[in-house]
Every structure is written in C-alpha cells, then in structure tokens.
Amino acid sequence: MRRPLQLRAPQAIFFCCCLPVIYCMISARGPEGRAAGEKKPAVEPAKHEAYTEKIAKTEVAFDMAPIPGGTFDMGSPKDEKNRGEHEGPQHPVKIAPFWMGKYEVTWDEFDVFRAEEGVKKPEDNDKKLKADADAVTGPTPTYVDAHYNFGGGKQPCIAITHHAAMEYCYWLSKRTGRTYRLPTEAEWEWACRAGTKTAYFFGDDPKDLGEYAWFSGNSDEEPRKVGLKKPNPWGLYDILGNVSEWCLDHYQKDGYTKFALDKPFLEPVVLPTADRQPDVVRGGSWVDEAKNCRCATRFASEKSWYKQDPQRPQSIWWLTDADFVGFRVVRPVEEQENLKGLRSKVTLESK
C-alpha cells in the first residue's frame, strides 16, 4: 500500500499570508499563474550558520552546511536531455531553511552507531522495543564484508537500507539532542541545485561533471572518500555522484503530477511506509553515467537490491546488491509538522 502524497496546502497559505518577508519573496516572483519552469529560484538569505557536530565521547565529528529556504521549480523541464518522465511535470515548491551534511555519511560515523546499537540477532531488536517502544534499534551483523572491498573510514557508508539510514538518524538525534533525519526529496533537490536551474548545478553540459563528481566516467569502479571533488555552490560535496543518497520519501512514479503548477507547495513529502521499497534515492553514483547524475534524476529502490541475501526474512539493514547507495543527513531549523517524531515503520515482516 502506498500512502497518498502528504500535502500541506493549509499551512502553506497560512505561512505565505502571515510572514511579510515570505510574502515579498513570493510577490517578487512575478504574476500568479505563470507556468512552472520559467521562474528563477528565489533564495531567502540564510540566518543560520555552519557548524560541526561532535559525537560526544568519540573522536567522530561531521560538518553541517546551512541551506537557505526559498522557492524553486522541482523536477526537470520537458526539454532537458536524458530526462525521465517521472521527473515531471516541474512544479513550484517552497522549502524552509535547514542544515545539510557537507559530506555523505561515512563509515566512521555509521560505525559509532553500529558499535553502540548493533545487535547480535534480529530478535534482540524486538526485545529492545518490548522494553521501551522508543528504544533505538541497531544493525544486525553482516554475513559479508560490509565495505564490499572498498574500505571504511572516510569512505561513504554504503549498502544500507532506507530503514537503516532512518534508524541511524533516529539514533543520532537522541545521541546529540538535535533533530537529524533524511532529507525530503524536495529538500535534497533544492540543496543540490543551490539556486541554479540547469541540468547540473554547474550548467547543462556534463563535460565538467568530473570536477564535481565521481561517476562511471572517472570512478574506476569504486566509490571514493568523501570530499575529494569541488563542492556545489552551497558547499555540499559529492551531492552528485559517489553514492546515490537516500531521501525520506516513498517513491511514486507519478508523484509530481499531483501538484498544482501555479502556486508553490510548502515542504512536500511522501511519507515512507511499512514497505521495504520503493523509496527515493538521488544524485546518481559511481556506477552511473553522467546523464543519470543530473540534479533531477530520480531512482527508486527495488527488490533486486537484496537479491543475494539468501535468508528469509531478508535483512532490513543491509542491501547485498546496492553498493552504490549511501545517504546524508539534514537538520531542520524548524521541523515541519508532519515529520515530527517520524520513525521507520519497516520490520522483519515488511513486504
């Protein structure tokens, strides 16, 4: 079962009417009713600053970059080269300010989670939840090399499920006292585009992609340590390429057709379900060609990503056949209402 798209139209209206700054910004976008795709993204000045989050009692820290709020056209225009049908129609979306990890989550970071919350057997997580419904659950052991021969440390964490990425964020939030979660698909695209509206944040021609991204054309078939290439204009490294990044959203092929085209939706998200797939990954990866590392490229997770897991039920933590998938975290300046307290609903019984 897929849940309906979670729209926040009433809040959006309230927000637009009551905040003069926002009102000006919306007005500045020109006459109402103009079709999406023609407007320039409107970026509000960010009032929040970059910071480094240290995970207490460990040597591990990670950097968070401020991402301003604003309005943009999500998806790709009809005439974009190599575009997928599910990238449209372009529709205006309004995003509230947040912070985003400058880098993809590394094994150094994920390994703290595993060390503190990892369990010996799946049923150990049931015991944790029985004792305390709000307990953090943790990854089970892997039967293979979790690093898939690519190494750990500052390498991006790979082959983790959407559930694992969400539970990591839940743990990290409890551990730091600040709300961390996966980016919504809209937040991800807004942050990736960084005020631009071209196929890549550096233009429409992929010839420069190698300066910013590890993709099939330069990866030599390996993901690389995070942060080796140039960042995007908002200081995000590897936002295209290296590893595809989980978004919070459940994937809907026709999801973009459900939006109005003449007024921006505030903070759209398709909430994740109790199903193991399909969820959204973005940005393309070290296995993808340049055409699939565009700002608007969407992928959906699928059953084949677990193919070589010989157990039933299959793991809800590890993807045996998706060594190209990782994630990065965001922290909202003010959490949107429908994401407060959100936790993964996936269990071993999930389809």
CA dihedral 108, 109, 114, 115 (to 10 degrees): 70
Residue 296 vs residues 84, 89, 189, 284, 290: alpha-carbon distances, Å: 9, 11, 7, 10, 12
User: How many CB atoms are located within 10 Å of the residue 74 CB?
Assistant: 27
Task: Report the residue number, 76 or 344, with the smaller CB distance to another protein.
Answer: 76
Among 104, 185, 267, 288, binds another protein (CB under 8 A): 288
Among 41, 84, 195, 235, binds another protein (CB under 8 A): 84
- Which residue is associated with the tokens 């990954």? 281
Count of residues engaged in binding another protein, rule: CB under 8 A: 41
Is residue 157 within 8 Å of 105, Cβ to Cβ?
yes
- Binding-site member from 300, 333, 343, 350 for another protein (CB under 8 A): 300
* Shorter beta-carbon distance to another protein: residue 324 or 327: 324
Q: How far is the CB of 297 from another protein (least distance, A)?
A: 7
Does an H or E element contain 239, and which?
none
Options 9-17, 20-28, 134-142, 166-174: segment touching another protein (CB under 8 A): 134-142
From 38, 134, 145, 204, residue interacting with another protein (rule: CB under 8 A):
145
Q: Which stretch binds another protein (CB under 8 A): 26-34, 141-149, 193-201, 226-234?
A: 141-149
Question: In angstroms, how far is CA 41 from the centroid of its own chain?
Answer: 20
Q: Using the rule CB under 8 A, which residue among 143, 207, 208, 228 binds another protein?
A: 143
310 sits near another protein (criterion: CB under 8 A):
yes
Q: Which stretch binds another protein (CB under 8 A): 50-58, 97-105, 266-274, 293-301?
A: 293-301
- Identify which range of 42-50, 129-137, 263-271, 295-303 contacts another protein by CB under 8 A: 295-303
Burial of 321 (0-12, 13-18, 19+ CB in 10 A): middle
Sign of CA dihedral 197, 199, 202, 204: negative
Q: Which of 19, 144, 228, 260 binds another protein (CB under 8 A)?
A: 144
Q: 292 or 336, CB closer to another protein?
A: 292
- Looking at the DSSP bridge assignments, the partners of residue 250 are 279
Asked if 86 interacts with another protein (CB under 8 A), we say yes
Q: Give the list of residues 6+ apart from residue 47 with CB closer than 8 angstroms, or none.
A: 97
Instruction: By CB under 8 A, name the one of 90, 140, 242, 277 that touches another protein.
Output: 140
350 binds another protein per the rule CB under 8 A: no
Of residues 31, 52, 311, 334, which one binds another protein by CB under 8 A?
311
Closer residue to another protein in complex, CB, 82/176 = 82
- Please, which residue, 167 or 323, has the CB nearer to another protein? 323
Q: Which residue in 57, 130, 312, 340 binds another protein (CB under 8 A)? A: 312
Contacting range for another protein; rule: CB under 8 A; set: 95-103, 155-163, 205-213, 285-293: 285-293
Nearer to another protein, 39 or 294 (CB): 294
Tell me how far apart the alpha carbons of residues 189 and 196 are, in angstroms, rounded to a whole number. Answer: 11
Rounded Cα distance between 207 and 217, Å, is 10
3-state DSSP assignment of residue 323: coil
Cβ-contact 223, 286 below 8 angstroms: yes
Q: How far apart are the C-alpha atoms of 236 and 252, rounded to whole Å?
A: 26
| Closest among 146, 144, 142 to 157, alpha carbons compared | 146
Output the furthest CA–CA distance in the chain (Å, rounded).
60
* 3-state SS assignment for residue 41: coil
Q: Give me the residues that bind another protein (CB under 8 A), please.
A: 82-86, 111, 120-121, 140-147, 149, 151, 216-217, 221, 253, 287-289, 291-292, 297, 299-300, 304, 307-314, 321, 324
